[in-house]
Amino acid sequence: MDNGSLMDPVSYITYDAPSNENRTPWTIKVGQTVRMIEPKHRLIQAIREAGYETPTDAWRANRHKLDISQDLMISNTNGNRDISRKAAEKYARVFGHTAGWYL
């Protein structure tokens, strides 16, 4: 480059301090890792806590108490269909926990 150029020969910015010092405290360290549990995982957990190996076994043993189709229960445990408030109330009545816990 010649002396009359407006361009700086160094086109990038250099820092004397490491980048960690420029970061805010909450971006430097993560104190806790939280894994969110989806409703389908809570439903499967409740089914296993109730002593059933599979959702189908749980449905067969409680089909009259649940008053829902087997397909709906399988879809809820697979996560293909969201758990409705009405279904959550039925699961709570049969498998324990509260309806809000399933949602």
Residue 87 has pLDDT above 90, yes or no: yes
State the Cα–Cα distance between residues 77 and 52, nearest whole angstrom: 13
Comparing 11 with 40, the larger pLDDT belongs to 40
Residue spans of the domains in the chain: they are: 39-102
State the Cα–Cα distance between residues 60 and 69, nearest whole angstrom: 10
Region for 96 from its dihedrals, namely left if φ exceeds 0, alpha if ψ lies in -120 to 50, beta otherwise = left
State the Cα–Cα distance between residues 27 and 53, nearest whole angstrom: 43
Percent pLDDT > 70 in the chain is 65
pTM of the model: 0.64
- 5-14, 27-36, 39-48, 85-94: least confident range: 27-36
pLDDT tens-digit readout, 38-86: 999 999 999 999 999 999 999 999 999 999 999 999 999 999 999 999 9
Does the 39-102 domain belong in CATH 1.10.3470?
no
Q: Which of 42, 25, 33, 27 is nearest to 82 (CA)?
A: 42
DSSP-derived secondary structure letter, 4 = T
Where does 1-103 show beta strands of DSSP type E? none
State the Cα–Cα distance between residues 44 and 59, nearest whole angstrom: 12
15 pLDDT tier (thresholds 50, 70, 90): low
Comparing 7 with 94, the larger pLDDT belongs to 94
